[in-house]
Amino acid sequence: MGNKSDLPPLRIARVTLSDRAAAGVYADLSGPEIERVLREHLGPEHTILSRLIPDDRDGLSALLRALCDDEKCDLVVTTGGTGPAARDFTPEATRAVLDRELPGFGEAMRAVSFPKVPTAILSRATAGTRGRSLIINLPGNPRAIGECLPPLVPAIRECLRHLRGA
């Protein structure tokens, strides 16, 4: 896990994209899993904002801009909408707001997941930076979040140090 106190307190946002969870058809389990993993690996002192929105490409792009530019979040983690289905557009909505894409995050997640779930190669998750914020797309499955997010923590820490000018 590394030293949890090696970063100053962060502003983190977790965004769940799901028509059905946003409509109350079922509970959002993926967003809380992101929060659990981040608190376990980065420490409890960080502020975490929670957003649950329906699948809406323009709405997600606007929310990502607001979280990075207005809310000054250091890290924004999305869940859902990374597959090949017609309503899966999270990577496109994310790329629309990025200054720089960091495709290694998606590549690493697919590499971790593929040996366990061969269909993981269908994930189009990506990541990148907007200003001083890091945005990462995660799969929509809580189990996949628990498998994919922990191995990314060292790169998240390093990226945030660079974005802060360290």
DSSP secondary structure of 129-153: EETTEEEEEE-S-HHHHHHHHHHHH
Dihedral pair phi/psi, residue 71, rounded to 5° = -80, -10
Asked whether the predicted pLDDT for residue 139 surpasses 90, the reply is yes
What's the chain's average pLDDT?
95
d(CA 158, CA 23): 37
In a domain, 4, yes or no: no
pLDDT of residue 5: 53
pLDDT band at 4 (very low <50, low <70, confident <90, very high): low
Range of the domain at 55: 11-163
In a domain, 2, yes or no: no
Q: Helix, strand, coil % (nearest 5) of the chain?
A: 45, 20, 35
Lowest mean pLDDT among 5-19, 24-38, 97-111: 5-19
pLDDT band at 95 (very low <50, low <70, confident <90, very high): very high
pLDDT band at 7 (very low <50, low <70, confident <90, very high): confident
In a domain, 38, yes or no: yes
In a domain, 86, yes or no: yes
SS3 string, 73-105, reads CCEEEEECCCCCCCCCCHHHHHHCCCCEECCHH
Asked whether the predicted pLDDT for residue 144 surpasses 80, the reply is yes
Between 6 and 111, the more confident residue is: 111
Q: Which of 47, 112, 121, 123 is nearest to 79 (CA)?
A: 123
Which CATH number covers residue 158? 3.40.980.10
Domain count for the chain, please give it.
1
Contacts of 157 (CB under 8 A, 6+ apart): 2, 6, 7, 42
The arithmetic mean of pLDDT across residues 94-107, rounded, is 98
In a domain, 48, yes or no: yes
pLDDT of residue 2: 46
Asked whether the predicted pLDDT for residue 6 surpasses 90, the reply is no
